[in-house]
Structure 1
């Protein structure tokens, strides 16, 4: 085992290891088209985001909650007049989210291959259990990880529990594209947080960068991760 002060590294999955948000944006466009006779696309998206925000506490993150929020929004913008055929089509485009191929991000394989066996690697992701398991299996990345944590939400409590299985947060690092879910709560535990921005990020994941935090780092892509890690040793 490495003597590096960082011994456990957590990686987010969606939009850090593989593409995800682009498929939700595609589905949202299809959803807008289904309701084009009732409202403008921008208005539909605004109402959908409101529904998603309301429903997080009920349905959690992932495809099921997104699909139910689309149905709720359809009922909302049509004042309950949405045809049953449209509801069926909404269910269909929601299910189609489960069939998109897994497209890994650049540099993922080389980075994980270099880290495996040198650090305790844990995949920390939230969303629908079956969907996350499917994507991990199809990605071919599973063997790089020492453990996998599919959680309902990512909070400081979540990270304390996971990092506590190792040498504690002070010897841990979280890598991800979401400031709100991956970086800020991990740093709150005393861990390092490495922000890897993605071109598309869900509106509900936006918060300010914790630039004053000594353990906050930002890289443009995962190809910059190994040199960053070496610099912290």
Structure 2
């Protein structure tokens, strides 16, 4: 899983709960101000283990990095209508903390735990829900609450150079040329496709029989991942190595 995919997963699971709110990431130009509650997701910097678990898959090295992506979830809302006062005016009650606490209950429910199991990930609530109404500077909303999460997942570095995409790992029943994660061009077996949201989804196991490494060259948007580098170092790397055994003679 990449950071981009991890962000997509957390956005999906958040939108499944906040169906009556606008959900988006901080810094997005498409942030639409409206009377609807607004949920802002702010990802932090991912951290990962210094020494990965390594495994040979189809004669290619795959490194598995346990990765943690911190996230801040902010809820902006106008609350709920309270009881009319003596003057007949209805004041708005601050429900931000209650509403965010209910969201945390959802994140810690068996539904989300099973959803995380299907994509080999974990969501950790990192601290209590915080009341931040006093920090609201947006005139569109009156109340605010925040909670911090950590999204834990496994990132795979494939091949001798570590730059073959995870889509290079092809599992039995999957199409040879899958599309974007969660939207394969030609769906394979139901348990091996999708983004983890579908019932019956199971995270494929790299150790199962029939798993193959078929190099997929996907340059990064920043100009990284050289096809020439992979071709020069990967092709025949394991098949052309000649191992010689030599018996050491004792000095005695």
Query: Do the two structures share a fold, i.e. TM-score over 0.5?
Result: no
Task: Give TM-score scaled by structure 2 length.
Answer: 0.29
More strand by share: 2
User: Per chain length, whose mean CA-contact separation is higher, i.e. which structure has more relative contact order (CA < 8 Å, sep 6+)?
Assistant: 1
Structure showing greater radius of gyration is 2
Task: Give TM-score scaled by structure 1 length.
Answer: 0.31
